[in-house]
Structure 1
Amino acid sequence: MKTKAILFLVLLLSITTMIAQDNCSKFYPMTEGVAMEYTNYNKKGKVENVSSFKVVNVSNTGGTTNATMAINLKDNKGKDIYDTDYNLSCTGNLVTLDYESLLPTEMMQQYGDMDIEISGNDIEIPNDLNVGQNLNDANVTMKISMSGINMNMAVDMTNRKVEKKESVTTPAGTYECFVLYSENRSKMMMANQVYPSRVWLSEGVGMVKQETYKKNGDLMSSTMLTSYNK
């Protein structure tokens, strides 16, 4: 359970780079009905699960856009693992996530009546990405309390930078992408691990590909855009 929770927090930070609103960023179109499917692979290239994202509601209040994204995760046999929604808001050039709603109901149920507190700093993606550019750090923290015992889990995304531009082909098409590098450090009790990561972002689409590595550089897992529908 600990490993799953840590990996989910890493995924949580990665999801943030997938989605934003047209009037806030040129990289991530968001209108009701837009749907994306991502296939997740293990280090050997075998399918582990498939995640589907769909924009189900978008509203505008003043200068802020609020949106709801529905997520469905299926295992490699097509069996549902969980369904959940999460909310985000977009103001100016920044996207703000409702971190608590990103945690799936199934995961929360496993913690029973524990008190859970979630906080974090948003991932920021500027409109004017350039190769060599450094980006602000981000993090998410989850504090769990039970019978006077506290357990903290955190993921810090640091050393973020735009490495290069390159073309990427997936089952959904061929895209020109910026490659963003980061180091994701997960902390849980006495465990402290670093997972370097690269995300391929395409203008008007969002995340096209992601790779997560062990500290020594070996591939640990990957994610690829396999379907995109406006």
Structure 2
Amino acid sequence: MDKGVSMEYTNYNKKGKVQGISSYEVVEATNSGGTTNATMAINMTDGKGKNAYSTDYNLTCTGNVVTLDYESLLPKDMMEQYGDMDIEISGNDIEIPNNLSVGQNLKDANVAMKISMSGINMNMTVDVTNRKVEKKESVTTTAGTFDCYVLYSENRSKMMMVNQVYPSRVWLAEGVGMVKQETYKKNGDVMSSTLLTAHSK
């Protein structure tokens, strides 16, 4: 959470083919009264190198916990599509303690969005549940070798009548952040994955 830190992530589909690249940079970081606030800018390109979308989100580190603002996790492009509609957003931020340990259970997180247009309501919710620290594991990418904690969670999304659950794992390294992520189908097969492919401080 230092200004100027940048990371590059490469996204892969279930067959290991590159689907896109995401570039992250801390564009602002302030520290006041023991609390650090940072803004992370994201630029995403598709598999052909074309710009897919850009957005940013907010992080806060207070004491021993890093918090991701649930509302800022919604892509701005998507929010702009609903610009003329009445939108209500609520939820619980994602918390990641700095002192992780194997076997630790983490707080659930969720975001709910209610969109009203011409008397019609559309509800969308995303719940991140069953969050726990499974194990420690070393991961090697083109960015280096990192000692990571592996965090498991189940991500349930509901939109209209569609209800889907995607288990996922995130590999986190101290002082770096996410090094690897995998999302799975119900049968355990990898549906998509992300790797840290470049990192600079």
Give the TM interval when normalised to the shorter protein.
Answer: over 0.9
Determine what percentage of the aligned residue pairs are the same residue: 80
- Tell me the residue number matched to 2:42: 71
Which runs of 5 or more residues in structure 1 are unaligned? Answer: 1-29
Counterpart residue type for residue 103 of structure 2: G
Aligned residues of 2:142 and 2:197 also touching (Cα < 8 A):
yes
Distance in 1, matches of 2:181 and 2:198, equals 15
Is residue 2:115 matched to residue 1:111?
no
Counterpart residue type for residue 36 of structure 2: T
Moved more, 139-148 or 194-203: 139-148
SS in 2 for 1:196: strand
Aligned residues of 2:68 and 2:95 also touching (Cα < 8 A):
no
Moved more, 186-195 or 94-103: 94-103
Query: Which aligned pairs between 1:38-117 and structure 2 lie closer than 5 A?
Result: 38-117=9-88
Counterpart residue type for residue 62 of structure 1: G
Distance in 1, matches of 2:193 and 2:45, equals 16
Choose from 162, 165, 168 the match for 2:139.
168
- Tell me the residue number matched to 2:117: 146
Segments of 4+ in structure 1 off by > 4 A?
A: none
- Tell me the residue number matched to 1:132: 103
**TM-score calculated relative to the size of structure 1:** 0.82
Q: Which has the higher contact order (CA 8 A, sep 6+)?
A: 1
Higher helix content, 1 or 2: 1
Distance in 1, matches of 2:56 and 2:190, equals 29
For 1:50-94, what per-residue CA distance to the aligned partner results, in whole angstroms no more than 9, with x for missing partners?
Answer: 111100111123232221111101111111111122223322223
Choose from 152, 163, 172 the match for 1:181.
152
Deviation for aligned residue 1:219 = 1.1
Deviation for aligned residue 1:150 = 1.1
Deviation for aligned residue 1:137 = 1.1
